Amino acid sequence: MDESPLEQQSQSHEEENEIVTEGSSAFVHGEPSSQDGSVPPNVDSQVEVLDEKVSKQIIKEGHGSKPSKYSTCFLHYRAWTKHTQHKFEDTWQEQQPIELVLGKEKKEMTGLAIGVASMKSGERALLHIGWELGYGKDGNFSFPNVPPMADLLYEVEVIGFDETKEGKARSDMTVEERIGAADRRKMDGNNLFKEDKLEEAMQQYEMAIAYMGDDFMFQLYGKYQDMALAVKNPCHLNMAACLIKMKRYDEAIGHCNTVLTEEEKNPKALFRRGKAKAELGQMDSAREDFRKAQKYAPDDNAIRRELRVIAEQEKAVYQKQKEMYKGIFGGRDESGGKAKSRNWLVMLWQWLLSLFSRIFGRNRVKAE
What is the spatial distance between Cα 91 and Cα 113, in angstroms, rounded to a whole number?
16
The rounded percent of the chain whose pLDDT value lies above 90 is: 49
Q: What are residue 101's DSSP bridge partners? A: 72
- What are the DSSP calls for 30-88, one per residue? S-PSPTT--SPPP--SPPEEEETTEEEEEEE--BS----TT-EEEEEEEEEETTT--EE
CB 132 within 8 A of CB 51: no
Mind listing the pLDDT tens digit for each residue in 226-265?
898 999 999 999 999 999 999 999 999 999 999 999 899 9
pLDDT of 260 = 96
CB 276 within 8 A of CB 249: yes
Averaged confidence pLDDT in the chain: 81
User: Taken in order 120, 124, 129, 135, is the CA torsion positive or negative?
Assistant: positive
Q: Which of 147-151, 164-168, 223-227, 349-353 has the lowest mean pLDDT?
A: 164-168
Where b means 16+ CB within 10 Å and e means fewer, 337-367 reads eeeeeeeeeeeeeeeeeeeeeeeeeeeeeee
Angle in degrees, CA 23, 94, 173, rounded to 5: 95
Closest CA to 63 of 165, 236, 202: 202
Q: What is the bridge-based pairing of β-strands 98-101 and 54-60?
A: unpaired
pLDDT of 192 = 92
pLDDT of 127 = 97
Mind listing the pLDDT tens digit for each residue in 316-346?
877 777 777 666 655 554 455 555 555 666 6
Q: Which 3 state secondary structure label does DSSP give 126? A: strand
**CB within 8 A of 192, min separation 6: which ones?**
198, 200, 201, 204
Q: At what angle do helices 283-296 and 267-279 cross, to 10 degrees?
A: 160
Is 176 a residue whose pLDDT tops 80? Answer: yes
